[in-house]
Amino acid sequence: MKRARKATKKLKTFLGRVIRDIQRKYPNPDEEMAELLDVAIRIRSQKKKDKNKVYSVHEPHVECISKGKAHKRYEFGCKVSVATTS
């Protein structure tokens, strides 16, 4: 656990450097870059107990779904409801 915490801290440090570097060199980002920067800032600032965490950089709308089963406790994705008519 100590090694994992150290690695996570190092990754967050690298991410912070990259965010600051991009903001300094690209002060007026276009829409796509602004969206990616927003996701990166959310990833860097999220804590373990926070709601609305980012689980995927490429699909930020993905959620953690609790299954309640012993062999597969959690899944990541989006809940979908399908209604059909006769």
Question: pLDDT (tens digit, 9 = 90+) per residue, 35-84?
Answer: 999 999 999 998 888 888 888 888 878 888 887 777 778 888 887 888 98
Q: How confident is the model at residue 22 (pLDDT cuts 50, 70, 90)?
A: very high
Assign 31 a pLDDT band (cuts: 50, 70, 90): very high
- 82 assigned to some structural domain: no
11 found inside a domain: yes
Structural domain includes residue 85: no
Total tally of structural domains belonging to the chain: 1
Q: What pLDDT, on the 0 to 100 scale, is given for residue 75? A: 82
Model-wide pTM > 0.85: no
Calculated CA dihedral for residues 6, 4, 41, 32, nearest 10 degrees: 120
Residue 19 lies in a domain: yes
